[in-house]
Structure 1
Amino acid sequence: MDPQLSPDSYSHQIKKETWKHTLLLSFQSLGVLYGQLSTAPLYVFGTIPAKDILSEETAYGLFSFIFWTLTIVSLLKYAFIVLKADDDGEGGTFALYSILCRHAKVGLLPSDRTANEVTHYEAGSPFKIKVESRARRAIAKHKSSHYLMLFLALFGSCMIIGDGVLTPALSVLSASKGLQRSLSDMSHIFSSSESRQESISKDFKRYVPVPSACVILLCLFMLQHYGTHKIGYMFAPIIIIWLFLISGVGIYNIFYWNHHIIYAISPVYMYKFIRNVHVSSWRSLGSIILCVAGSEAMFAHLGHFSRRSIKITFICLIYPVLVLCYAGQAAYISKNLHVEDFNHLSESVPRHIRHFFIVLSLLASAVGSQATITASFSIINQCLALGCFPRVKVIHTSDKINGQVYIPDINWLLMVLSLAVTIGFRDITKIGNATGLAVVSGMLVTTCLMSLVIALYWEKSLAESVCFLLLFGFIEASYVSACMLNFHKGAWYLVVLLMFSFTIMLAWHYGTMKKYEFDLQNKVSTEWLTDLSPGLGVSRVPGIGFIYTDIVMGIPAFFSHFITNLPAFHQVLIFVSFKSLPVPYVHPSRRYLIGRVGPKKYKIYRCVVRYGYCDRIRDTDDFEEQIIRSIGEFISLEENDLESLTSPEGRMIVVGKPSSSQDGNALIPMDDTISNMSPAGFANNETQVSQFNDISERGNGPVKRKKVRFMLPADSPKMRVSVREELQELVDARESGTAYFLGQSHLSVRDGSNFLKRFLIMTYSFCDKNCREPPVALNIPYAALVEVGMVYTI
């Protein structure tokens, strides 16, 4: 990939990090990324029914499965292989999908050939597809493979979101169960009557865990607005103390109870377990897979941290600590099968530190949920940028690492669903069954997409790709079969979450794609506006008109509808299109593509704004000023680009983020604060004035905005007279006022359409009405906004 496409202030800072920066990121990752892996011992053995652990030999077999699952899946697959498949510093399911979109032509995002040619146009474009192999040609030819990959990407994203709902409930409730047992022990001390002890113990089991878990969950989700950076600093010390504690307890249990547990590392014990397997013992493997819960987060959080910091922390600290902890717990279980709740971690802790352990486990469990919550934010941000999720507010919590985001709406939704799971199930076994299915399903999706990346992007042999798929796919498919045996014991809830989230994603993608196809089919030619409109009596009024549209060629249907009913438009028109590219970032110097619509005398321009799925371009307050300055730079550069003067529409120039124009070829900005007291552009139009009055009557006072005014540079022999005149017209139009045109679409379904199509369009329409406004409309004064309604019959 061309390095200029990555922002110099984001991912490249991480890639060229010093050891000091690596250690700092490693410290932060402990509080955000590895919380789930570190707290998994709270519920791995605990979610296995005690009646399924029949003998010492069973404990040996379960530990052998844990050791080799951690080694093969977490260490080999993720730490050594998958982390290398980053998308310019970004990870996760959609990062793999975006790589395949670029290098295997499998993208189904709303686009057409003309749009691709325009948005990908530039000399030496990094978007050129590699030399096509037979596999690439086969995949590009069969449309069904494109839908399959999109399905995998959406399915994997839904699994991460489901994990974000279930893991907080599971980890916090597991720690609360330890609190329940601790308080129950205290009741035995202060109560002399055995009947009284039993009554108090039952009360603690009934009332203590759920309320305490709910309080912790509320506090956890309320902390999310502080962002990954601050939360990492707050939570990392807790995880460090927790890791030292569980590793120390593990070593103590190994030497005190059963040091022969070390022999269970041998795969022979897995073979013995499988040889004597039956339904109940195979079902217990659905809990064993929870030992690698959080491994997917290592890849998904690449945008928050760096590959080196993630890898070093896992190999040098997390992996050996977890092996010691699970070995110690298995050693305790093998010798204490007669003890009540012997399979819970708190029971294996020495009594003189048990109360301290309980308090720390409550704090660590809250931290353990952080990885899945932030992973949900990251994956939804990617889905949002690629047109697969309804519009929600995204807050970037770091100026240096652009992948660190917080989404308030999703945060509160996850909180409500987690509380519902906690209160509804009240049983860590049932919640663990659903969580295990979410974890292993997400891993299986990553394995499938990763095998395609190995063959199509890394250009390895087909044998290597197939070996990767068969090795890890077989292991994960085996765990899926174990989890499905628990479908009626809690795993069904994940299916409900999957249907809910997948329906929303699929409906939004389908509606967005159909809306775009409708725009393409109903657009009018440029000649209609430039040649035929004078015959319709269309007049030009002072000012600049911004027309926001999804298409990058021709005139959108809603604007032609507006001109037909109100025959007037501004002396300067700018058609603005946002185009998401399947890359995480687009460098500011290559963000804007500027071109003309029609002959030069009409002063009609087109601006295509390219952005990656992790960029925050739409949230900037000075977006209008950036476009004006980019067009000014385009006008000055155009004279030297003879091809753009003689070519038809579609020839565009890549314009960088303009500087303060010290070279004298662009507009010079001057800050000024004004009050938008009157409608922009159509000041004398009765309809617009009426609209403004209606807004004022609803109580919207004048909006104070910072407006950047422009002036031309001093006379220079390098600047032609025609260029200076056009720049002056642009400045004068800006001073006259600005209006913004948005199409307001209303989708309807044709008569006779099937039920699925009707359901998807209805779901899209509902989400469109109830989600956030389009980003371009958020900072536009109401008096200057013109929304043109259109009915789209799909």
Structure 2
Amino acid sequence: MAGPAAGVVATDEARHVKQNLPVLTLGAIGVVYGDIGTSPIYAFRQAMSVRPGVAATETEVLGLLSLIVWALTLTVAVKYVFFVTRADNNGEGGTLSLMALARKTFTKAPAWITALGVIGAAMFYGDAMITPAISVLSAVEGVELVAPELTRWVVPITLVIIVGLFFVQRFGTAKVAIVFGPITAIWFLVLGISGLVHIFENPLVLWALNPWHAVEFLLTHAGIAFIVMGAVFLAVTGAEALYVDLGHFGRKPIVFAWFGLVFPCLLLNYFGQGAFVLEAGPENVSSPFFEMQPKWALGPFVALATMATIIASQAVISGTYSLTQQAIALNLLPRMLVLHTSETQSGQIYLPQINTMLMIMVLILVVGFGSSSELSNAYGIAVSGIMLVTLSLLLVVMWRNWKWHPAAIAAFAAIYLVIDGGFFVVNSAKLFQGGWVPAVVAIFVSLIMVTWMVGRARLAEKTRKDEVPLQFLVDNLSKKKPTTVPGTAIFLTSDVEGAPTALLHSLKHYKVLHESNVILTVRTSASPRVADEEKVHYEAFNELFSRVIVTFGYMEEPNIPKALALARKLGWKFDIMSTSFFLSRRSLKPGQKGGFLRRWQDRVFAALAKNASDATGYFHIPTGRVVEIGTQVVL
């Protein structure tokens, strides 16, 4: 029965994708490619700015264009579109999804796989800070060409736009997202047309399709090759969004959008910028992207560019919310308040804490760096680091999941370790020119995640030592039955085998049991979603005690009342109005064991646990049915 049913589901999903392919493709253009679509504003400009003088201009322009063309082709079109998007975890993508997929095939996953996931997620936060800052700032800088007297207002205008962007997050992005696709599609068409006009005037630039020009440039400009490749890398920033947003649109719309519109328009615009530089002379051009536009169209073009950068920023901000939700579900971060902004789309969420912290950091970056040229030095490390982590986890998936031949894996690794590793090295060279910002953020977030995981493990170990085995308690209470009161009591615990602390303290202080006592454990699956028929496991010990294990996917909202309703199908009858939920509220005290590092970690973990969101709200338990029992634990 399972085989045909699965086939029917797959057929229905395929039919749904086919019917909605145009809509999904348009949505992918707006959300997935918004970030990479703003790269032409500054990528070629930065690459041109590091040329030594104006000698051999034609050779240099063709070399730079060839580097950009083949960076886009090999990194985005081949690696991400053909390979990375195939590594979906039940349809979901992103660093943490890839980590979960890689861990699935191990009985006990190696720690280094989790470490890679942590590093990749931490680097994404650095990327999420810089993307809104550099994107919006680079677009607003176009005002300098329209009205030079407004140059001193570029930073203030950028700050106002960014504050407004983060302020509207609380209202949800569902309505705004409707116009994302059409505006970004118009943006790409304008990019392509504006580039094509200049290509007609100087078709010589099309010779840049020959990869030899890229190789020749690197050989003849070895002294600045590192700096140039760091600038060229800006052309592929945003490629990581291909994989992050895989679950929202599916692979086919993402592929169609890339080859049908995005890739051709990006190439046309870069070629057009190169043609314009050759026409005007590099010494006369400071911002080819804006200067190659007709004067009459410059104002509307700057406005359109600003809208495109806002959309690009919105996609990264929404991605940060989703990443944080996944990290919380996978126990990499403490619980945070997650607000749902749509009644129909579960993925439309808003995290106030993340929104506030992200906005503050973006504003600081805009004021601190002051221009997109300066910010570009800080941009590459985070994105190139994410790409290197993605490649490492992808190789594990090729080996363990896809069962590729070792020779094929080795060949793929050899090619892309050179490309991705090279990009990471050249961007690391800008560490002291601004690259330290995302590096510091990534290190800080990684330390928080590691501290949280280590602290949870220590707390679980200590709690396990203090608790008694659940089976032992059940057997003893069956022999010597205490006084019972009507109703059902549900005790939450993370340890399936141990008796919940709340149950032990309830017996100690109240000396009574409810007629029905349920030991409830919530687990997170390595899959993004768990089918309803597999979500709940019910086991009755005797008439007094039973155990329920609820498993949520890491992309799902952990709603306990809804999950428990599924348990009725398994034979457990209960009335929510006569049910009490017992939770342990631990007050953590740092211990004196170990050295300085251990005591420091204990203090940070205690602070994180204290500020974590309330379990009642996180699991959607009715507040009027909750009894919290406080305990003090010395770490």
TM over 0.5, shorter chain: yes
Change (3 A) 1:328 1:420: same
Aligned-residue offset at 1:147: 2.0
Tell whether the 8 Å contact from 1:92 to 1:301 is kept in structure 2 after alignment. yes
Aligned-residue offset at 1:24: 0.6
Partner of 1:579: 523
Tell whether the 8 Å contact from 1:333 to 1:343 is kept in structure 2 after alignment. no
SS in 2 for 1:546: strand
Counterpart CA distance in 2 for 1:400 and 1:780 is 21
SS in 1 for 2:571: helix
Counterpart CA distance in 1 for 2:224 and 2:138 is 22
Counterpart CA distance in 1 for 2:243 and 2:608 is 30
- Residue 756 (1) aligns with residue 600 (2): no
Which residue of 142, 147, 168 maps to 1:183?
147
- Residue 543 (1) aligns with residue 478 (2): no
Change (3 A) 1:68 1:92: same
Tell whether the 8 Å contact from 1:46 to 1:345 is kept in structure 2 after alignment. yes
Q: Deviations over 1:347-393 (max 9, x none)?
A: 12222322221121111111122232222222222111111112123
Aligned-residue offset at 1:175: 0.7
Which residue of 440, 443, 453 maps to 1:496?
440
Partner of 1:139: none
SS in 2 for 1:47: helix
Counterpart CA distance in 2 for 1:775 and 1:467 is 51
Counterpart CA distance in 2 for 1:633 and 1:535 is 27
Tell whether the 8 Å contact from 1:83 to 1:299 is kept in structure 2 after alignment. yes
Aligned-residue offset at 1:30: 1.9
- 1:165-564 correspondence to structure 2 within 5 Å: 165-184=129-148, 200=149, 204-205=150-151, 207-225=152-170, 227=172, 229-256=174-201, 258-397=202-341, 402-533=346-477, 538-564=482-508
Q: Deviations over 1:698-721 (max 9, x none)?
A: xxxxxxxxxxxxxxxxxxxxxxxx
Aligned-residue offset at 1:300: 0.6
C-alpha root-mean-square deviation of aligned residues, in Å?
2.7
Aligned-residue offset at 1:531: 4.3
Counterpart CA distance in 2 for 1:215 and 1:282 is 35
Counterpart CA distance in 1 for 2:589 and 2:301 is 59
Most deviating of 563-572 and 546-555: 563-572
SS in 1 for 2:538: strand
Q: 2:629 corresponds to which letter in structure 1?
A: V
SS in 2 for 1:19: helix
- Greater per-residue helix proportion: 2
SS in 2 for 1:284: helix
Q: 1:418 corresponds to which letter in structure 2?
A: V
Counterpart CA distance in 2 for 1:767 and 1:531 is 37
Q: Deviations over 1:667-706 (max 9, x none)?
A: 6xxxxxxxxxxxxxxxxxxxxxxxxxxxxxxxxxxxxxxx
Identity %: 27
Tell whether the 8 Å contact from 1:32 to 1:231 is kept in structure 2 after alignment. no
Which residue of 72, 77, 80 maps to 2:79?
77
Which residue of 66, 69, 73 maps to 1:67?
69
Tell whether the 8 Å contact from 1:524 to 1:554 is kept in structure 2 after alignment. yes
Counterpart CA distance in 2 for 1:340 and 1:562 is 80
Tell whether the 8 Å contact from 2:616 to 2:622 is kept in structure 1 after alignment. no
Partner of 2:627: 786
SS in 1 for 2:337: coil
Counterpart CA distance in 1 for 2:340 and 2:408 is 39
Aligned-residue offset at 1:780: 4.7
Change (3 A) 1:760 1:337: farther
- 1:643-662 correspondence to structure 2 within 5 Å: none
SS in 2 for 1:585: coil
Unmatched 5+ stretches in structure 2: none
Change (3 A) 1:402 1:628: closer
Which residue of 89, 92, 110 maps to 2:94?
92
Partner of 2:570: 633
Aligned-residue offset at 1:99: 1.1
Change (3 A) 1:34 1:749: same
Tell whether the 8 Å contact from 1:547 to 1:575 is kept in structure 2 after alignment. yes
Q: 1:616 corresponds to which letter in structure 2?
A: E
Q: Deviations over 1:607-633 (max 9, x none)?
A: 100111011132x6x44xx52662573
- 1:692-731 correspondence to structure 2 within 5 Å: none
Change (3 A) 1:172 1:558: same
Q: 2:43 corresponds to which letter in structure 1?
A: V
Q: 1:216 corresponds to which letter in structure 2?
A: I
Counterpart CA distance in 1 for 2:214 and 2:522 is 54
Partner of 2:549: 608
Tell whether the 8 Å contact from 1:304 to 1:404 is kept in structure 2 after alignment. no
Counterpart CA distance in 2 for 1:590 and 1:401 is 22
- Residue 570 (1) aligns with residue 569 (2): no
Partner of 1:163: 127
Q: Deviations over 1:247-294 (max 9, x none)?
A: 1111112222x3211112212112222112344442132121111111
Change (3 A) 1:408 1:316: same
Q: 1:79 corresponds to which letter in structure 2?
A: V
SS in 1 for 2:404: coil
Counterpart CA distance in 2 for 1:373 and 1:51 is 31
Change (3 A) 1:780 1:19: closer
Q: 1:306 corresponds to which letter in structure 2?
A: G
Most deviating of 168-177 and 470-479: 470-479
Tell me the matched-pair count. 630
- Residue 770 (1) aligns with residue 611 (2): yes
Partner of 1:643: none
Change (3 A) 1:392 1:340: farther
Counterpart CA distance in 2 for 1:481 and 1:526 is 53
* Structure with the greater alpha carbon radius of gyration: 1
Aligned-residue offset at 1:97: 1.0
Change (3 A) 1:450 1:777: closer
SS in 1 for 2:551: strand
Change (3 A) 1:497 1:485: same
Counterpart CA distance in 1 for 2:268 and 2:624 is 66
Aligned-residue offset at 1:64: 0.8
Q: Deviations over 1:143-166 (max 9, x none)?
A: xxx221111101111122211110
Change (3 A) 1:89 1:520: same
Aligned-residue offset at 1:556: 2.4
Change (3 A) 1:15 1:219: farther
SS in 1 for 2:142: helix
Tell whether the 8 Å contact from 1:169 to 1:419 is kept in structure 2 after alignment. yes
Counterpart CA distance in 1 for 2:30 and 2:512 is 58
Change (3 A) 1:252 1:313: same
Counterpart CA distance in 1 for 2:50 and 2:80 is 33
Tell whether the 8 Å contact from 1:250 to 1:326 is kept in structure 2 after alignment. yes
Tell whether the 8 Å contact from 1:30 to 1:232 is kept in structure 2 after alignment. no
Counterpart CA distance in 2 for 1:781 and 1:237 is 42
Tell whether the 8 Å contact from 1:218 to 1:415 is kept in structure 2 after alignment. yes
Aligned-residue offset at 1:533: 4.5
Counterpart CA distance in 1 for 2:533 and 2:52 is 62
Q: Deviations over 1:730-772 (max 9, x none)?
A: 66xx67x332211122334442412222222222221221231
Tell whether the 8 Å contact from 1:519 to 1:556 is kept in structure 2 after alignment. no
Counterpart CA distance in 2 for 1:100 and 1:279 is 40
